[in-house]
Amino acid sequence: MPAALAVAPSFVPEPLAEAFAPPGPEEAVEPLAPFRPVDRAPSPPPRRSVLSRAARPRRPRAILPSAPALFPWIARHLAPGEVTVWSGPSVAVEPLLELLYAASATVRGRVSLLEGANRFHPYRVGELGRALGLDAGATLRRVRLARAFTAHQMVALVDGWLRELRAHPATLLVGHDLPALFWDGETPDDERDALLRQVARGLAEVVRRSALPLLLTLGPDGLERFPGLADDGPRWADYVRLERGPSALRLRALRDDARLTLVARAAGQLGLEAFGGGRAAEEVIAWDVPPRRTARRSRSG
């Protein structure tokens, strides 16, 4: 089954010569009326033209919303033109990744996703979008997905990612478990290393030329299953380890040793960290997305 990224047809602008051409000899041009001074109040300063407004540097678009505090923590460890690696078990990485897709949509961001493990769940992403105040369809329309089913298809998708971004601009690039297909038992051992290094070089080119942040997710073994990423891949922004506990999700960033713990807690409930009981280097966030209302009414007694 071919796995090619959809590329919009090339747009050829119409010539603008006729629109700016001077009038021909057969066209009548009315003479200017004589100038007569008129007493009036001084005119206001001229407004800036559209061109002058367009020439001003644009404020960089936010990748994630500013609240809750989880999203600024994630955004601090992303950088334009660089790669951030999340490493951890799927039960820790994928729920947070789905939340990131929905959060990006709330600030009108667009995610370009290469899915290597075939584990994208649109219903869960749509429900998270609803919890954050968006329509499920509007949330999913801001995630552009490309799946691969063989290792060679993944190589082709990475090679064509720049063409895809020219046709469909994005604010964040995500590669979910790209090495998974190379370890499925169908790729010969003598080809795996060379193919993964080609993928790493392709990612470096995509990130360099697009100047977008790239988020790569890997399993708990991290770089062991992705040879070439550290040497031939993009410039690194950060490496974040994720661990899932019985009642908490812990993240630890290598660059500044920042630590974050997400705990399931009812809104308004305080923990020991609010009174100085947690470790000083660790930030604890109670994840309290407002629950959706149901049609069932509670009964007292």
Structure confidence at residue 282 (pLDDT) = 55
Can you list the domains of the chain with their CATH numbers? 70-248 (3.40.50.300)
pLDDT for the residue 190: 87
Q: Which residues of 142-180 are buried (b: 16+ CB within 10 A; e: fewer)?
A: bbbebbbeebebbbbbbbbbeebbeeeebbbbbbbbbbb
pLDDT at 7: 33
DSSP 90: H
* Full-model pTM: 0.72
* CA-closest candidate to residue 115, choices 176, 202, 29: 176
Question: What pLDDT is stored for residue 283 in this prediction?
Answer: 62
From first to last of its 301 residues, what are the pLDDT tens digits of the chain? 444 443 333 322 333 233 223 333 333 333 333 434 444 455 455 454 333 444 444 556 789 999 888 999 999 999 999 999 999 999 999 999 999 999 999 999 999 999 999 999 999 999 999 999 999 999 999 999 999 999 999 999 999 999 999 999 999 999 999 999 999 888 998 899 999 999 999 999 999 999 999 999 999 988 899 999 999 999 999 999 999 988 889 999 999 999 999 887 655 544 434 433 344 345 665 554 444 444 444 444 4
Return the pLDDT at 62. Answer: 85
The Cα–Cα gap between 149 and 136 comes to 27
CB 223 within 8 A of CB 229: yes
Are 228 and 200 in contact by the 8 Å Cβ rule? The answer is yes
> CB under 8 Å to 211, separation ≥6 — which residues?
80, 81
Contact status, residue 175 vs residue 215, Cβ threshold 8 Å: yes
**Which strand (E) or helix (H) includes residue 243?**
strand 236-244
Q: Are 132 and 102 in contact (CB under 8 A)?
A: yes
Spatial distance between the Cα atoms of 15 and 292, rounded to a whole number of angstroms: 53
pLDDT, position 267? 53
Q: What does the pLDDT read at residue 29? A: 34
* CA gap 290, 267 in Å, rounded: 8
Look at residue 247 in the predicted model and tell me its pLDDT. Answer: 81
User: Which structure tokens are listed for 209?
Assistant: 């030329």
Structure tokens at 270: 């305080």
Other Cβ atoms less than 10 A from the Cβ of 213: the count is 22
Determine the Cα–Cα distance for residues 153 and 249; give it in Å rounded to an integer: 33
The separation between the first and the last C-alpha atoms of the chain, rounded to the nearest angstrom, is 59
Quick check: 61 and 78 in contact, CB under 8 A? no
Dihedral of the alpha carbons of 58, 62, 67, 73, in degrees to the nearest 10: -120
CB 136 within 8 A of CB 126: yes
Contacts of 165 (CB under 8 A, 6+ apart): 112, 206, 210, 212
What's the pLDDT score for residue 268? 53
